[in-house]
Amino acid sequence: MKFCTLTERKSSLKLKIFKTDGRNEFNSREVIEFCEPKGIEHEVIAPYTPQHNGLAERGNKILLDMTICMIKGKGLPHYFWGEEVLTVAYMLNRCPTKAFKECTPE
What is the predicted pLDDT for the residue at 106?
A: 63
Q: What is the mean pLDDT of residues 44-49?
A: 78
Q: For residue range 50-100, list pLDDT tens digits in order.
A: 777 777 788 889 999 999 999 999 999 989 999 999 999 999 888 887 777
Query: Considering the chain, what is the average pLDDT of its residues?
Result: 84
Least confident of 10-24, 42-56, 89-103: 42-56
Q: Other CB atoms closer than 10 Å to residue 51's CB: what's the count?
A: 8
Residues 6+ apart with CB under 8 A from 94: 104, 105, 106
pTM of the model: 0.54
What is the predicted pLDDT for the residue at 1?
A: 79
Beta-carbon-side half-sphere exposure of residue 53 (alpha carbons within 13 Å): 17
Counting residues of the chain whose pLDDT is more than 70, the rounded percentage is: 97
- What type of residue is 24? N
What is the predicted pLDDT for the residue at 69?
A: 93
